[in-house]
Amino acid sequence: MNFQSRRVQTMNYNVSAHSWKRTHYTMEITPDLDGKEVTLTGWIKEIRDLGGIKFLLLRDKDGIVQITVPRDEVDRQIIEQVDKLQRQDCVSIRGTVRRMDKAPRGVEVTPKSIIILNTAKQPLPLDITGKTPADIDVRLDARILDLIRDEAQAIFRIRHVTLEAIREFFSKNGFIEIHTPKIIATATEGGANLFPVAYFEREAFLAQSPQLYKEQLVIDFEKVYEIGPTFRAEKSHTRRHLTEFISVDIEEAFATAEDVMSVAEQLLQHVCRTVNEKCRRELDILKYRVETPSIPFKRLTYDEVINELRENGIKISWGEDIPTVAYRTLGKLHPYFYFIIDWPTSLKPFYIKPRDGKPEISEGFDLMWHWIEIASGGTRVHNKDLLIKRLKEQNLNPESFKYHLQVFDYGMPPHAGWAIGLERLVMMLTGIRNIREVVLFPRDRFRLTP
RNA sequence: GCCCUGGUAGUAUAGUCCGGUCUAGUAUAGGCGGCUGUCGCCCGCCCGACCCGGGUUCAAAUCCCGGCCAGGGCGCCA
């Protein structure tokens, strides 16, 4: 090739430099597009250079397609561009689709023009192919790169499908989606510690639950649900605790605990079925299987639970809460979903209704999956005088609940509800053992960044 | 708040118990070179690390003390 012709070719190359806008996503590249010219955008995930032929794996939001570069079949300018490419460089590639049995998915693209839209600094802080594993601490520090891994992609697709299924279920069943304030005025409910925030000249708090608001809203909408963040300033540092997590809450007017337990069962069955149907590929990646539960779920009374635990060597006297070791034992005895009902009233929050005629027993329940609590709820107190009595019994000041209590003068119906911890549900659906894995940017006792 | 375990190249590990051929091994990533069908490609060469501070000792990655950081567990947690 003489100087003249090379120069002409360079000019042609420059003239033909394509717009970087994509024509197809990687997963749309199929063998039947053989011979067609396409433009793809994405990131280089892996490079395998065999000398005379080079394979690039181009990743976009849906998947991967192989870019094949046979040295003697493409322009020198392409080779020069390709030789510059590194893992995680951001590129636009225009090229020809080729049906090829030897390629992944039976198809590959041979480039005609490459635009490097941005480069990635090497070496990367972790292996985006996931072949060299990194500790969770390292991965969370470089979370954006970590989320490229197939496992992470699978987890968050399952999380997405879970949320979609939940919303679909609620819509079909007549619930309306609400959003209640996350900045609240007073630390009212007792129990979990709240995070204080500086709110202009006052102190405010991050909400630990939409509980009071959702109860009030049953007057206006009867059936409400909220999927939103909750904040808990607990010093727990375990693989099932976060300081910020997503709570899936419902509240329903003219309903009892048994009614909303039924809603929970149906919802979980629907979610498990949907994830099984829509996330086969993701479950394969995670090497996990979700069993679609049959309903109704087992209902164990608190009394039955403590008897069962006693038979297994764990002594709990009536009225005591169930410690973690005991839950682990219970999880072995009941390996899937089960409710624990008939809790002592003293162990439940003030808004849980004591049973009529037997007030030491409450109408509260917990929904367990193995040894982990994934939901809790119950029939609520809807009588104002009883609610005030319950507040006092729990050493809470009715005065600080004045805005909540006034609503009980406006025709508060009997109602019931529950809350599911979304992350714990996603752990269950993915088989992931550390809750931080199922949150994009987890917050725990010690982690506030990135 | 308490308890346990750990901290070695960008990442993941071996070595630590029982101090000395550790000039710190290996894999992967990264750099350079070679290789035309890879799909955890392969081959050769190279770069790169003992968390910080103090102590013991002739000698410390290794033992001791303190700190920091991380992981896990307990308590706590609607």
Query: What whole-number distance in Å separates Cα of residue A252 and Cα of residue A175?
Result: 8
Confidence of residue A100 (pLDDT cuts 50, 70, 90): very high
For the cut 60, the answer to whether the pLDDT of residue A138 exceeds it is yes
Residue A446's pLDDT band (boundaries 50, 70, 90)?
confident
Report CA-CA distances (Å) from A448 to A48, A343, A369. 38, 36, 29
Strand B close to A131 by CB, under 7 A: yes
A57: nt with nearest C1' to CA: B39
Q: Which strand B nucleotides have any atom less than 7 A from protein CB atoms?
A: 1-2, 10-13, 27-31, 34-42, 69-78
Among chain A residues 384-403, those with CB within 7 Å of any atom of strand B? none
Per-residue model confidence (pLDDT) at position A203: 87
ipTM, two decimals: 0.90
* Residues A74-97 pLDDT 10s: 998 899 999 999 999 999 999 999
Residue A437 CA, distance from chain mean position = 9
The pLDDT value given to residue A408: 96
Quick one: what percent of chain A has pLDDT higher than 70? 95
- A321-380 pLDDT, tens digit each: 999 889 999 998 998 899 999 999 999 999 999 999 999 999 999 999 988 899 999 999
Alpha-carbon span A365 to A322, nearest angstrom: 13
CA distances from A392 to A344, A349, A350 (A): 17, 12, 9
| pLDDT band at residue A11 using 50, 70 and 90 as cut-offs | very low
Q: Are A400 and A350 in contact (CB under 8 A)?
A: no
Strand B contact with A410 (CB < 7 A): no
H or E segment to which residue A325 belongs: helix A324-333
CB of A181 within 7 Å of some strand B atom: no
Query: What is the band of A445 on the pLDDT scale with cuts at 50, 70, 90?
Result: confident
pLDDT of residue A236: 84
**Distance from CA(A169) to C1'(B69), angstroms, rounded:** 44
Catalytic residue ranges of A: 232, 234, 240-241, 373, 376, 424
Q: Is the CB of A233 under 7 A from strand B?
A: no
Q: Indicate yes or no: strand B within 7 A of the C-beta of A376.
A: yes
- Is the Cβ atom of A450 within 7 Å of strand B at any atom? no
Each residue of A379-388: pLDDT tens digit? 999 999 999 9
Cβ of A46 less than 7 A from strand B: yes
Closest-lying nucleotide for A234 based on CA to C1': B77
Which nucleotide does the CA of A352 lie closest to, via C1'? B78
SS3 content of chain A, % helix, strand, coil (to 5): 35, 25, 40
What does the angle CA A101 – CA A103 – CA A106 come to, to the nearest 5 degrees? 50
Instruction: Report CA(A138)–C1'(B64) in Å, whole number.
Output: 30
The closest nt to A139, taking CA to C1', is: B11
Q: What is the model's pLDDT at position A234?
A: 86
pLDDT band at A188 (very low <50, low <70, confident <90, very high): low
Answer yes or no: are the C-beta atoms of A256 and A416 closer than 8 Å: yes
Q: Which H or E element spans position A426?
A: helix A422-430
The per-residue pLDDT of chain A, averaged, comes to 91
Note the pLDDT tens digit of each residue in A212-271: 999 999 999 999 999 999 999 888 889 999 999 999 999 999 999 999 999 999 999 999
Range list of H helices, A103-229? 136-141, 143-146, 150-172, 211-221
